Structure formats: C-alpha cells, structure tokens
C-alpha cells in the first residue's frame, strides 16, 4: 500500500444542524501514544513494522528506514472533539477513516425502504468508549450502510483508511494467505461481519419492529454467501426457502415472458429480496441473478417467518410488500416497453449515428448488403442484416461512430478517428482483431484475406454480358494483395457520398442513418401505436 | 410503404387525364378510335413502348449497383494519388463554400466559374460535383459539394418503375383502341397484362408481408439459417439413434417424423397454405401408449428420440412461417421476370413486323 503524504486532506465531512464544527485537537506524541496503547485494537502491534520508507539523510545519502505502526499512527491519526448531535457520516456516503471512541457516545442507525417513496429510520446501537465504527467503508471502500451521530460531546480518534487496510491485509502466499496482524484483523473482521449482518437484517422492512434479543437469535443463523457474476441465486418457479439481503454487489430481478427475460429491477447494497415467496410459501415469482461479484446475507426462511408472525404490525406490512412486488411483476408483463426503452437508451444513445432498418418496410431483398459489397474494392459487405431489434427497427452491424469508441484502444495505431469524427483503419494495423473484440456491438468484422477473391472489379461490359463472361476481371498481382492474414473491415459511412450505398440502393427506403435521439422518438411512436 | 403522396397523386392525375382525353376525343365525338394503323395509335404505341422500356431500366439500375459505374478501377498507387487530389479539391471547394456563405454579394456565375476551375485543376471533374444555385431567400449563392453519384436513389427508380408500368398498359390499350390485332400483338398484350398484374401482386405482397414477417421474427428470435443448422443437428442425432433398432422402433419414428407434415422446401402450394402450422398436441398421449410396444433395451433411446422429435417439431414450426414469407416475397418474380422477357420479345417482333410490312 503506497504511503500517502496527504492523509490530512481526506478529512471527514461532519454535519451539525446548527453549524457547530468539530475541533481538531493537537496532541503531543506522548499523549497520542498514551491513547494508542490503551486501545485493544492496537495491542501488541504498535512496535511492529508498518513499512520501509526511503529517506534522504542530511548528508545526502539515501537510506531505508523502518516505520512502525506507532510511527504511522503518530504521523497520520487525528483527534477530534465533536459536539453532540453531529452526524459523523451519513448512510450512503463514502468514508476514508476508522473512527474510535475515546470518550462519549455515538448512535448508529439505518433506513429501511417501506416503498418507492417512504423510508423509516431504525436505530441500531449506541456505541461507548473503546468501540470503533466506520470499518465497513474503510475496509471495503463501499458506501456506509448506516448513519453515525454523536449523542453526547465525543472525543474521537480517526485512523486513515490506508493504515486500516494495510493492517488488515493478508500476506502473500505461501498458501493459505495469512494476516500480518492477526489480532487487529480478527477484531476488525469480527465487528465488520457482525455490524454488516445486524444492519442488513434491520433493513428488512418487516423486521424493524423485532426486539434486539430476537434479532440476536436470528443473527446466529444467518450466513454470508458469495456469488460470482452471472450466478443464479434462484430461478422463477423454485421453492422459496430463504430470503436475501445484499451486502455487496448487484442483483438482477427478472421474470420470464415467453422466450425472453423481462427485467423487473436491479438491486444493490442493503436491498433485500425473496421475502414474498417465503412469507406466502409460494414458488419464486421471479429469478435473481448476480450481475457482479456479490455478497449476500442468507436469512433462513422459517426463522424469518416466525419473527414476522410474532409481530402483528410486521404481518400487516408483509401483505403490503407482497402486493407491491406482485404489481411490479404484473406491470412488467403488460408494460414491457419501459425496460426495452431503457435498454435502447443505454445501448444506442451513447452513439452519434445509427444505421437502422425499418423491418415493416424491408422486403429482405439484401440489396443493401450487395450494394455495400459493391461499394468497396475488396467486395466484402460491411453490413450484415442482423442485430438488435427495438420494436420494429433493426440495428444491423454497421459502425455507430460512438461518442466513446473503445475500438480506438489500439497499441499499434491501426485504428483512428479523423477530425470529422469518422473512424478508419490505418496502414499500421497488424490484424490482431483487438478492435473487433472490443467493439460492444460486433460491428468490426475480421476478414480472412485468403478467402478474398483477389480480383479487381469487373468492367461494365463484364457486368452487362455477365452470362457470357468466363471470368470476372483480372487477378491482382501478388505484391498488391493485402499483407495481413486477417484484416478488419467496418462501415465507413461511404464517406463523401450523398447517401451511403446501402441507403442509396434500398427500393423501399427501409434503411437509413438516424441520429440516436431521432430513432428514440420513432421507436417510442411505434410502441405507442402498438399499445 | 413510405411512398410520398405525390407519387400517387401524379399517377392518379395522369390516369384520369388520359381516360378523359380518350373518352372525350374518341367516344363522345364518335371518331374512329386509334389503332396501330392510325397516327394517334402509332404515337400512343411509341409512348407505351417507351414507358415499358423506362420501367425496365429499373432492373438495369438495380443490377448495376451504382458503384459499378463510378468505381475507380485503378491500382493502389494511382488510387492514393486520386484520393490526395480529391482531398485538395474538397479543401479548396470548402473554402469557396465558406466565402459564399459569408458574402451574399458574390455572383452565381463567378462562383460557378471558380468551382469548375478548381475541379479542372485538380482533375476531379469526373469524380466530384460542385453545384451552384441561388441561396434560399434569393440573396447570394449556395454551393453544394459532393461525389458524383451514378443513377440516383433506387427508391426513385422504383416509383418510376411502378408508374411507368401502369402507364404503359393504359397507353398500349388505348393504342390498340381496345381491339386485338394479330397473334404477336395479342401475345405481347397478354404478356403486358401478366407483367402488370404480377407487378401489382408483388406490390401488395411488399405491403402485407414485411409486417407479418417482422412479428414472426420477433417471436422466434432466430434466423432461418440458425434454425436450419439446429434442425440438421437434430436430424443427425435422430439418424444415430434409430440405427440398428427394431422394426417397431423404426416404424414409429417414420410415422412421428412425418409430423407436422409440411415440407420445408419452397413449393407453389405455399401460396395458399396457412401462414403457420400448429403443433401436434395429441403426440404426448399417443407416445405414452406406444412406449409399451418398444422392447425394454430400446426404451432409453426411445425417450431420447421422443425428446428430439419434439425439438424437431418446434424448430420446424418456427422455421416454416419465415420460409413461407420469404418465399412469398420472391415468388411473384418468377412470373414477373419471364413475362417481362416475353413482353420485350413480342413487342420488338411486333414493332419490326409493323415497320417492315
């Protein structure tokens, strides 16, 4: 972990309703050490090696100096006197410190979403002298799941994130990786997991009325499970056994609609799902898939059910939540375009210029494909009449001249953008197909040069007397053939022509270039006509 | 079809005018109607033939996709030089364009002369155009620059093809005075009527089929090529399974593989066949009863075969409507084109015979 000189710049943003600011307290080194030595978190590690730092001595010689944990803390840890009722950090903000209470009381709380608009605050715990908090954000670099507020005037020690992460880090193999400071890591992780589980459980709407003792009993039975990107947590129709709360990552909730999956929602940290199936004792009404590496808190269904049933207010609320979820699912079946429109906006709107085919006008004559092939010397069509369909508009494989063209990430300078915004291949291309792989739309095609006909274009006479011509054109001399085994080809917008060849040669004018916002309006019109 | 209303308006106006002229001149005045022998008949005949040839030019334009005419058939070095000349010409023309936009006092003739000079000096007269016209509002000039196109947009040719086709039948019928002449003339007329009728059929197909095909493609989500590949794999697996099986097994396979009983090879029968084929819903019950007749060692393979047959049926049901609609989009051409060839041949023979005799 690099040693950051400017740790003092990453100060937390305290908020006090009356504007009372916390005071940064300057202490002498012995005073600081006195506090450090009394904290169980730093027991036995103060004298341990933190890092080796190169220093230049007065005589100009470079030396490597050992820096201990004590030195790092003395240099970078800060002490604050914080007035009562100050928000140290808010739920959803990002923190860069571990906070340790030297004196005073801090209350933690979180919010639970009752529906799309209403939220309720839930108290978690009151922390006293010697307790620490903020470790979740300091360790995982995710947003805070809770709010921390001073109840009384509080004296806090702030330890910068880089020190916390360095102390909690695992050593390099030999396997298994071992912690450098096992006691520190153990204490931090224990509290990390306990607090994460407690906060997440409390964020389940129906459990906010549950007593602390019941929550504590539930906590013993939950476990943290990790899912990789693409893993299915449960599928529509599965038996509903557990409910889940997202600790880290994203979950996609989707419902089957004939052969397609309709996305109902994307859930992130703190959201819970799967409770309706558990409460109704019914099969899963939707599928849940991990979008990224995701940590889920798995709450056993029977225990959860017991807690909910023990509380009348929780029962009432559970019915409301179940109805909401069912409504979402029904709406997804009837109003499917909303998701598709968002998908269109995400996929197409970043592009400047889109070639689109109106499928209701297209007579599938492939004249556009033939025209594209005829318009280029190599006889290869850049246009393939396949691609994503939005309502009745097909977006075929044709360069979209994106605002953010990831295909330009080329080490050899084989693909560039000119001043007019057009993207073209240069002579430096080495045929590595990196651009083709990077293009998110598959619009760059790698062509095997061996398979090209290696013929010049036939003359007009050849074309007219096609059936009588024995061969088309003449063979290109070997030195004029492409030197690479594979060459990339893509739509070049038929630059300079009034219309691109594909547009110019469509008998029904089904194919056209649109601006992305223009196309958005057309597709919205088609959707409205259908509904 | 996204055809501008003006095309329909022009065609309707022309048809109405011709009909009125014909009626007024020949019917109301009881004047002898035209025939191939009269001057009016000859004029109408020539116009009709010109309309037919004009309509035929659409297929010439479509076939020789524009680039065939202005393609640069040169070696890479010459092409590079031409590209450099083009770049220079465009730069100078764009400078001129800027001057034109900033100075409304510039005369059109002066701008035109300068633009032509640039094209001549850079050798780009054949490849670029620089069109000078009056700016909107009547003040100053406007300069449009671009690469020369050959032939214009195919859609424009298509509409002319439709209009000239319909016009030609009107002209030829009026040329003949709604009477039949010799055998060659009658054959030419029959071919003409056939061409126009198949053309109208094709036009209607182009209106009705694409939306229906789009709905099918949305539902199926796979292209016919992908479905055919999958079908081939399923057939290969079935071929492997039925090898060295009992007669009962093979007979059942033959029977079941024939369902849904629709050939996936294009055929004239598809013209009146239903748009989609239904799945056989009685099959599961039927096979449940049949499985008892299969010898015990073959039961496992029989179950695999049943799954594959279901898959095959599903693929065929998905593939059939797409193939049928594709066929409908193209089948009318198999009459339209030969009849056109016949029309041109008989028309030429008719014209030559008239001129000769």
For the residues of B14-68, what is the DSSP string, one character each? Answer: HHHHHHHHHIIIIIITTPPPP-TTSHHHHHHHHHHHHHHHHHHHHHHHHHS-THH
Same domain, B270 and B305: yes
Tokens for A324? 């909401």
The residue behind tokens 């003006």 is B6
Task: Give how many domains chain B has, as a whole number.
Answer: 3
Question: From the list B211, B218, B329, which residue is nearest A364 (CB)?
Answer: B329
Q: Do A367 and B69 touch (CB under 8 A)?
A: no
Rounded to two decimals, the pTM is 0.53
Tokens for A451? 């398979």
Same domain, B121 and B250: no
Query: Are the CB atoms for B34 and B175 separated by under 8 Å?
Result: yes
Which range has the top average pLDDT, A395-404, B8-17, B344-353?
Answer: B344-353
Rounding to the nearest 10 degrees, give the CA dihedral for residues A285, A291, A297, A303: 10
Nearest CA in chain A to B62: A505
DSSP letter assigned to residue A291: S
- CATH number, span A212-335: 2.60.120.10
Question: From the list A389, A392, A507, which residue is nearest B158 (CB)?
Answer: A507
Same domain, B202 and B138: no
Same domain, B143 and B270: no
Same domain, B193 and B335: yes
Nearest CA in chain B to A371: B65
ipTM field: 0.73
Q: Do A497 and B217 touch (CB under 8 A)?
A: no
Question: From the list B1, B68, B76, which residue is nearest A361 (CB)?
Answer: B1
Q: Do B155 and A363 touch (CB under 8 A)?
A: no
Question: From the list B62, B73, B217, which residue is nearest A367 (CB)?
Answer: B62
Q: A-B interface: how many C-beta pairs under 8 angstroms?
A: 101
Contacts of A324 (CB under 8 A, 6+ apart): A115
Same domain, B303 and B355: yes
Q: Would you list the domain boundaries of chain A?
A: 7-202, 212-335, 345-530
- The span from the CA of A377 to the CA of A476, in Å, is 12
- The span from the CA of A297 to the CA of A249, in Å, is 12
Measured between beta carbons, the chain A residues lying within 8 angstroms of B153 are 499, 503-504, 509
The answer for B126, left when phi > 0, alpha when psi is -120 to 50, beta otherwise, is alpha
Nearest to A140 by CA among A182, A188, A172, A176: A188
- The span from the CA of A129 to the CA of A123, in Å, is 19
- The span from the CA of A427 to the CA of A401, in Å, is 20
In terms of DSSP bridges, do strands A511-515 and A353-358 run parallel, antiparallel, or are they unpaired? antiparallel
Nearest to A83 by CA among A4, A19, A159: A19
Q: Which pLDDT tens digit goes with each residue over B44-61?
A: 889 999 999 999 988 888
- CATH number, span A7-202: 2.60.120.10
Q: Which pLDDT tens digit goes with each residue over A19-61?
A: 677 888 889 989 998 998 888 888 878 888 888 887 777 777 7
Same domain, B214 and B350: yes
Q: B212 vs A510, B50, B206, B321, CA distance in Å?
A: 15, 37, 11, 9
Domain that holds residue B56: 1-66+151-179
Q: Do B219 and A459 touch (CB under 8 A)?
A: no
B150 touching chain A per CB within 8 A: no
DSSP letter assigned to residue A173: P
As a whole number, mean pLDDT of residues A514-525 equals 66
Question: From the list B65, B86, B221, which residue is nearest A505 (CB)?
Answer: B65
Measured between beta carbons, the chain A residues lying within 8 angstroms of B71 are 374, 377, 457
Same domain, B234 and B250: yes
Same domain, B208 and B346: yes
Assign A353 a pLDDT band (cuts: 50, 70, 90): low
- The span from the CA of A4 to the CA of A141, in Å, is 16
Same domain, B237 and B299: yes
Strand, helix or coil for residue A369: helix
Decide if pLDDT at B250 tops 80: yes
Question: Is residue A64 packed enough to be buried (19+ CB in 10 Å), middle (13-18) or exposed (0-12)?
Answer: exposed
Same domain, B29 and B173: yes
Measured between beta carbons, the chain A residues lying within 8 angstroms of B1 are 361, 508
Query: Are the CB atoms for A308 and A318 separated by under 8 Å?
Result: yes
B225 touching chain A per CB within 8 A: no
Least confident of A246-250, B47-51, B66-70, B157-161: B66-70
Assign A151 a pLDDT band (cuts: 50, 70, 90): very high
Tokens for B281? 């819903």
Q: Do B154 and A507 touch (CB under 8 A)?
A: yes
Rounding to the nearest 10 degrees, give the CA dihedral for residues A75, A77, A81, A86: 140
Question: Is residue A181 packed enough to be buried (19+ CB in 10 Å), middle (13-18) or exposed (0-12)?
Answer: buried
Rounding to the nearest 10 degrees, give the CA dihedral for residues B258, B262, B266, B267: 110
Q: Which pLDDT tens digit goes with each residue over A288-340?
A: 988 778 888 888 888 888 877 777 666 666 665 555 555 555 544 444 344 44
Least confident of A425-434, A501-510, B128-137, B343-352: B128-137
Contacts of A380-389 with C-beta under 8 Å, sequence gap 24+, read A380/A445, A380/A447, A380/A452, A380/A489, A382/A445, A382/A489, A382/A490, A382/A491, A382/A492, A383/A355, A383/A491, A383/A502, A384/A445, A385/A357, A386/B223, A387/A441, A388/A347, A389/A359, A389/B217, A389/B218
Measured between beta carbons, the chain A residues lying within 8 angstroms of B326 are 364
Same domain, B166 and B202: no
Measured distance between the N- and C-terminal CA atoms of chain B, rounded to whole angstroms: 46
């Amino acid at each position: 972990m690099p040693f950051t000189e400017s740790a003092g710049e990453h100060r937390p943003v305290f908020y006090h309703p009356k504007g009372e600011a916390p005071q940064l307290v300057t202490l002498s080194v012995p005073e600081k050490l006195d506090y450090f030595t009394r904290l169980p978190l730093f027991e036995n590690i103060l004298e341990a090696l933190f890092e080796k730092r190169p220093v230049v001595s007065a005589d100009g010689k470079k030396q490597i100096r050992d820096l201990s944990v004590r030195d790092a803390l003395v240099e970078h840890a800060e002490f604050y006197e914080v007035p009562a009722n100050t928000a140290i950090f808010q739920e959803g903000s990002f923190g860069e410190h571990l906070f340790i209470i030297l004196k005073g009381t801090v209350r933690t709380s979180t919010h639970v979403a009752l529906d799309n608009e209403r939220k309720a605050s839930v108290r978690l715990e009151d922390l006293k002298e010697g307790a620490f908090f903020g470790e979740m954000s300091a360790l995982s670099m995710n947003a805070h799941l809770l709010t921390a507020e001073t109840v009384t005037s509080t004296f806090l020690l702030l330890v910068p994130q880089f020190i916390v992460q360095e102390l909690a880090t695992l050593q390099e193999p030999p396997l298994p990786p071992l912690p450098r400071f096992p006691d520190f890591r153990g204490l931090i992780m224990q509290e990390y997991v306990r607090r994460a589980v407690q906060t997440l459980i409390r964020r389940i709407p129906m459990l906010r009325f549950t007593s602390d003792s019941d929550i504590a009993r539930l906590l013993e039975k939950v476990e943290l499970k990790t899912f990789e990107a693409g893993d299915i947590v449960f599928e529509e129709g599965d038996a509903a056994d557990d409910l889940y709360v997202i600790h880290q990552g994203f979950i996609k909730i989707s419902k089957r609609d004939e052969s397609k999956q309709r996305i109902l929602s994307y859930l992130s940290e703190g959201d819970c799902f799967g409770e309706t199936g558990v409460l109704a004792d019914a099969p899963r009404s939707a599928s849940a898939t991990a979008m990224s590496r995701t940590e889920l808190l798995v709450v056993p269904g029977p225990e959860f059910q017991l807690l909910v049933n023990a509380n009348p207010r929780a029962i009432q609320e559970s019915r409301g939540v179940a109805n909401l979820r069912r409504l979402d699912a029904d709406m997804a079946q009837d109003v499917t375009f909303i998701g598709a429109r968002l998908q269109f906006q995400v996929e197409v709107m970043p592009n400047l210029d889109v070639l689109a085919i109106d499928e209701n006008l297209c007579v599938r004559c492939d004249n556009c494909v033939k025209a594209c092939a005829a318009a280029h010397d190599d006889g290869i069509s850049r246009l393939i009449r396949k691609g994503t369909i939005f309502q009745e508009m097909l977006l075929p494989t044709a360069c979209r001249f994106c605002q953010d063209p990831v295909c330009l990430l080329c080490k050899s300078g084989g693909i560039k953008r000119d001043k007019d915004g057009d993207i073209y291949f240069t002579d430096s291309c080495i045929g590595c197909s990196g651009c083709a792989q990077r293009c998110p739309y598959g619009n760059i095609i790698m062509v095997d040069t061996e398979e090209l006909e290696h013929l010049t274009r036939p003359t007009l006479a050849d074309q007219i007397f096609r059936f009588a011509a024995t061969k088309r054109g003449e063979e290109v001399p070997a030195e004029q053939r492409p030197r690479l085994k594979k060459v990339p080809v893509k739509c070049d917008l038929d630059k300079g022509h009034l219309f691109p060849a594909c547009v110019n040669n469509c008998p029904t004018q089904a194919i056209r270039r649109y601006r992305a916002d223009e196309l958005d309006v057309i597709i919205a019109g088609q959707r409205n006509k259908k509904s | 079809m996204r055809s501008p209303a003006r095309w329909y308006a022009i065609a309707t106006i022309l048809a109405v005018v011709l009909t009125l002229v014909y009626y007024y001149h020949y019917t109301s005045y009881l004047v002898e109607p035209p025939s191939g022998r009269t001057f009016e008949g000859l004029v109408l005949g020539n116009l009709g033939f010109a309309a037919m040839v004009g309509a035929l030019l659409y297929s010439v334009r479509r076939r020789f996709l524009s680039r065939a005419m202005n393609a640069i058939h040169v070696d890479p070095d010459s092409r590079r030089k031409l590209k450099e000349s083009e770049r220079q010409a465009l730069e100078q023309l764009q400078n001129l364009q800027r001057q034109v936009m900033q100075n409304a006092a510039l005369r059109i003739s002066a701008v035109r002369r300068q633009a032509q000079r640039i094209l001549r000096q850079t050798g780009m007269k054949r490849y670029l155009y620089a069109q000078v016209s009056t700016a909107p509002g009547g003040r100053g000039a406007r300069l449009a620059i671009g690469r020369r196109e050959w032939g214009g947009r195919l859609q424009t040719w298509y509409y002319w093809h439709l209009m000239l086709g319909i016009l030609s039948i009107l002209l030829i019928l009026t040329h003949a005075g709604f009477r039949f002449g010799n055998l060659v003339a009658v054959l030419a007329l029959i071919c003409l009527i056939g061409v126009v009728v198949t053309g109208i059929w094709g036009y209607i197909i182009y209106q009705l089929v694409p939306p229906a095909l789009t709905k099918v493609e949305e539902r199926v989500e796979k292209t016919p090529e992908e479905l055919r590949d999958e079908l081939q794999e399923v057939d290969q697996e079935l071929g492997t399974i039925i090898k060295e099986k009992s007669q009962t097994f093979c007979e059942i396979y033959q029977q079941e593989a024939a369902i849904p009983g629709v050939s996936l090879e294009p055929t004239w029968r598809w013209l009146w066949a239903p748009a989609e084929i239904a799945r056989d819903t009685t099959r599961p019950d039927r096979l449940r009863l049949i499985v008892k007749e299969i010898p015990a060692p073959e039961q496992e393979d029989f179950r695999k075969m049943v799954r594959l047959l279901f898959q095959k049926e599903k693929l065929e049901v998905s593939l059939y409507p797409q193939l049928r609609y594709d066929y409908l989009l193209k089948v009318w051409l198999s009459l339209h084109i030969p009849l056109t060839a016949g029309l041109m041949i008989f028309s030429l023979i008719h014209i030559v015979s008239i001129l000769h005799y």
